[in-house]
Amino acid sequence: MGTDRLAAFSDGVIAILITIMVLELHVPHGADAAALREIVPSLVIYVLSFVYLAIYWNNHHHLLHTVEQVDGLILWANSDLLFWLSLIPVATAWMGQNLAKPMPTAVYGVVLLLPALAYYLLQKAIIHSQGADSVLAGALGGDLKGKLSPLLYLAGIGIAFFSPWIAIGIYALVAVLWLVPDRRIENVLGRE
């Protein structure tokens, strides 16, 4: 099977997740700055979560360009990724209502960590299917950002219980690291 159906399904799921998140933003009750201040926590976390979903969508798009054929393992690994991504709207809503509280901040970090691990497993499933000399295997190389990100999430999760703002800063830092789409795959595909 080709990648068209997998890409279309994944795109649709991510679009729905973004839609669900935006529906959690509530219209301010009032027409002054005080009314806007009430929704700022939800808006800040929404923006961070939106950026994360956009990062996954961008990198997933590039990732699928390395796939020649989709097998069952890739389908399940992709479903695993989409499952963990589907929890982002829930964690976003909880964090938005409880900004800088230890437990919601830690849970938000867990919800960011799990798709990162699932994305890694998807990469491994693709390499397993395509072979050790595949385009993706060649593009990944040492994958410093991919290895550093889970460690930063784990640090943020632990720190959330002592300083939620620092944890949120760590989560934002990881997003900044990935804001520019992963060029390794583009570079390898551009050379072919």
Q: What is the pLDDT along the chain (192 residues), one digit of tens a residue?
A: 789 999 999 999 999 999 999 999 888 888 888 888 889 999 999 999 999 999 999 999 989 999 989 999 999 999 999 999 999 999 999 999 999 999 999 999 999 999 999 999 999 999 999 998 988 988 887 788 999 999 999 999 999 999 999 999 999 999 999 987 667 777 777 644
In angstroms, the Cα distances linking 121 to 33, 90, 116, 117 are 45, 23, 9, 6
Here the tokens at position 102 are: 């230890």
Here the tokens at position 167 are: 């944890």
Please say whether the beta carbons of 164 and 45 come within 8 A: no
Q: Which of 59, 43, 65 is nearest to 192 (CA)?
A: 65
Report the largest interatomic distance among the alpha carbons of the chain, rounded to a whole angstrom. 60
**CA–CA dist 45, 51 (Å, integer):** 10
**CA–CA dist 121, 179 (Å, integer):** 21
Tell me the torsion sign for CA atoms 178, 138, 110, 27: positive
